[in-house]
Amino acid sequence: MQFHHIGIATNDIESLIKKLTKQLDIKKVSEIIYDKNQEANLCMITTSDGIKIELISGKVVQNLVKKKQFLYHTCYVVKNIEQKIKELVADGALLVREPREAILFNNQKVAFLMWDLGLMEILEMGGGSKL
């Protein structure tokens, strides 16, 4: 697995983008989209040194934001999502959300698992995500 991004929970993506732009050297900001499969508004920010930060708002992160727990997940790229899920579950991870298409990643499949480092998103990278 290769690290791809961190996911940050927020109530207001636009306000957070403004704050981050003041403090970080932002290279790219995607448009804010709603993904019905993920039940969330999403935006990807890339810093000048290549770090990707996904901003997430909506029902899926509402309780986290109330608790002021903003780090939502870490994401890793995999070649075969089904195989990687089997490996992770065999190693003690718990599958939280079955694979489904993610609009932010050009409809590549993502799945969520709980493991020793917290919530992990795995992204099956095939035909080339633009992010």
CATH number at residue 85: 3.10.180.10
Residue 14, in any domain of the structure: yes
Residue 62, in any domain of the structure: yes
Q: In sequence order, what E strands does the chain have? A: 2-9, 26-29, 33-35, 40-47, 52-57, 71-78, 94-102, 108-115, 118-124
Residue 54, in any domain of the structure: yes
Residue 103, in any domain of the structure: yes
Q: How many domains does the chain have?
A: 1
- Domain assignment of residue 86, given as a range: 2-124
Radius of gyration of the chain (CA): 14
Residue 102, in any domain of the structure: yes
Predicted confidence (pLDDT) per residue in 4-14, tens digit: 999 999 999 99
**Residue 40 C-alpha from the chain's centroid:** 11
Q: Which pTM was predicted?
A: 0.90
Write out the DSSP string of 66-77.
Answer: HTT--EEEEEEE
Residue 34, in any domain of the structure: yes
Which letter does DSSP use for residue 60 in this model?
G
Predicted confidence (pLDDT) per residue in 12-66, tens digit: 999 999 999 999 999 999 999 999 988 899 999 999 999 999 999 999 999 999 9
